[in-house]
Amino acid sequence: MNLAVDIGNTQVKFGIFENDELKEVFSQEESIEQILSIFKIENAIISKTGSSNIIGQKLDQRKEVKTLLLSSELKLPIRILYETPQALGADRIAGCVAANFLFPGKNVLKIDFGTCITYDFVNDKGEYYGGAISPGMMMRFKALHNYTAKLPLIDPKEFEKFELTGVDTSTSILSGVMNGIKEEVDGIIKEYNQRFENLNVVATGGDTGLFVALLKSEIFTRPYLVLEGLNRILNYNLP
């Protein structure tokens, strides 16, 4: 069995795969001990965006597990044309590999609604050029709170909905952040649609559910896109 590990800025996700099929997902760092005791893991791959190194150390102790650390130098099923590939986030690479697999031979824009909102484009030849990085939802709420004297920190989960026109400080912040993200994403998708024919859009990340239904564009959602991409890369590098 394969183990895909996505160490993000805010959480860790583990995917247990049998061939190409995702069997189980875990989301706590301490789950690594449970996983190694329950499943017969033969191969593992780590995407490391966050600072934690505990999981890598645990896997290094298991000599029976072949472990790869994802970077742009690893053999990949897509061609990286990014000008600074060594600075490219491993989670972005994995997500693009999965998106390209889902839409082979087609232009695809991958959007990750995570700590940051990342946009990544892979063309119909399987070539990755780059994309964009924007502040994520909670980063925007925290910035308004941290860089002002009186604006409160808003938790969007405390509100059933948000309107275009806020009627007090809290709902004005809510409107600004949520509508700002919605218009940003719709605008970027529109720009890509104007430049590339038959564009497919796939979204992932923890905040996806808050925005996909609000967007004008048709979007394919895949909650475990990064884990799927990691597994693809792992299998691509196995003998």
Q: Which residues are catalytic?
A: 91
Which amino acid is it at 73? E
CB neighbour burial string for 142-163, b if at least 16 within 10 angstroms, e if fewer = eebeeeeeebeebeeeeeeebe
